[in-house]
Structure 1
Amino acid sequence: MSDNNRRAEHLSAVQARILDYIIRFKDERGYAPSMREIAENVELKAVSSVSHQLSQLEKAGFIDLKDGLARGIQVLIEPEGLARADSDTPVQFGDAAHVPLVGSIAAGVPITAEQNISEYVPVPRALTGKGDLFMLEIKGDSMIDASIVEGDLIVCRQQKTAENGDMVAAMIDGEATCKIFKQRDGHTWLLPRNSNYEPIPADNCEILGKVVTVLRKV
Structure 2
Amino acid sequence: MPAARRTIPFAQSAPAVEEALRAYYAKHGILPSLSELLEALQSHKITSKGTLAWIIDRLEKAGIVGRAPGGRLKPGWNFAGFPIGRPVPAGVPDTGDTMPEERRSIDAWLAPNPLITRLAPIRGDSMVDMGLLDGDTAVYEVRQHADVGEIVYALIDGEETFKLLACDDKGRYLQPANADPRYQPLRPKQSLDILGVVIGTFGRRRGRAASRR
**TM-score, normalised by the number of residues in structure 2:** 0.47
Higher CA-based Rg: 2
**TM-score, normalised by the number of residues in structure 1:** 0.46
More strand by share: 1
Relative contact order, higher structure (CA 8 A, sep 6+): 1
